[in-house]
Amino acid sequence: MRPSPLWLDATEAAAKLGVSRATLYAYVSRGLIRSQPLPGSSRARSYARDDVERLLRRAEARRDPAQAAAHALEWGVPVLESAITFIDGRSLYYRGHDVVVLSRTRSVADVASLIWTGEFGQRFGTPKAIAVQPSLPRDASFVAKAQALLAAAASDDPGAVDLRASSVAHAGWRMLHLLTGAAIGWPGGRPNVTIDERLARAWRAGPDGAGIIRAVLILCADHELNVSSFTARCVASAGSTPYAVVIAGLSALEGFRHGGAGARVEAMLDAIQQEVAPERRGRQLALRRTLEARMRRGESIGGFGHPLYSDGDPRARALLELLQQHYSGSDELRFVNAFVQAAASVVREPPNLDFALAAVSRVLRLPANAPLMLFAIGRTVGWIGQAIEQYATGQLIRPRARYVGPAPTSA
């Protein structure tokens, strides 16, 4: 029986490291690589993939430290230790739990408890409302509204400067409800109504829609050291409050290369749907030709491919499967499925989370900018978890720059 994607057999591990089996066993005996019995075998063992890859990165850094440092912050080696999220190239895990399973079996509160405390079942009380709502222009963006609301809430929270894990978790739970209010117009929440139910009711998404919204929030909760989570950890490392952490995370998330990518995917889908609308019978062929024309013009087809997943983004796959399960008769879903099939022969990449969020928004007929709002609310769980970890280290994140400017001159 083969090991799981998290583990390698002896032949694979030794080949990856470029060493003999004897050297591999020596690494295990020195505690550098974890091993465990291979299921179904009395003698064979499997070896932790992340330990093998960590040894490889160390060897590469020793051979060329300058090159390793130059690429460390661009899809490179991890720069911080974290016990929250593990990505093995196929699946995503929160503290060892498969995120797709969590999205189908657990509540947002359960997953927040897992990420913030390491166990299910912790609850963080009834979130406190704020006394005065900030005044903003009616057409202000969601992120602007959310940041203003969080800034007002921080000034109204005497415990904001308490950076102990339990206090940060309580502040995080309050912020999740505040961001939900910002997304639906800031009405007060009721203790017996969950975040996903509040969103579904406000957006008239129905019970099936509430379940999919819950899955979205859980699947978006964390994704290792993405740009917004790294930003959140940097702010936390400075000793700033958890409110400041989430405000900073929102600023990074809004960018078009991160959470803001969903808006570009939405716009692309709208434009292409209008373009191929007259071709009802030959829509599949029209979609493929439209995508090919865009590619020839040098235009990108957003929402496909992810550098961390060789077999496709599991979060996107889970959401598209849920849509198929509950909305198989939807015209919007038929268009989404046709688009994915056309892209498979043109882009040759499976859809990623950005595409799936846009698909959910279309099928559930959610308001404009819903993908970013859902992403932000869900990812706040991760930002708070990252902040709790960073506060515990007591370390300031301060990388060095590799200077490439003009040589200094004497006075």
Burial of 81 (C-beta count, 10 Å sphere; 0-12/13-18/19+): exposed
Q: Report which of 404, 401, 407, 386 is spatially closest to residue 168, judged by C-alpha positions.
A: 386
Amino acid at 338: A
Phi and psi at residue 94, to the nearest 5°:
-100, 115
61 vs 111: CA distance, rounded Å: 36
Chain centroid to CA 258: 10
Give the CB-side neighbour count of residue 298, counting CA atoms within 13 A: 0
Task: Note whether 149 and 133 are within 8 A (CB).
Answer: yes
**Residue 264 φ then ψ, to 5°:** -70, -40
Nearest Cα residue to 116 out of 156, 164, 79, 81: 164
**CA pair distance 103, 122, nearest whole angstrom:** 18
Vertex 22: Cα angle to 16 and 28 (nearest 5): 75
User: Cα dihedral sign for 377, 382, 388, 393?
Assistant: negative
d(CA 99, CA 187): 30
Catalytic positions are 306, 354
- Residue 192 to residue 179: CA distance in whole angstroms: 17
Check: CB of residue 245 under 8 Å from CB of residue 279.
no
Residue 97: DSSP 8-state:
E
> What are φ and ψ of residue 376, in 5° steps?
-65, -45
Number of neighbouring beta carbons within 10 Å of residue 300: 11
Please give the C-alpha separations between residue 315 and each of 92, 96, 190, 326, 341, in angstroms, as whole numbers. Answer: 8, 16, 30, 17, 18
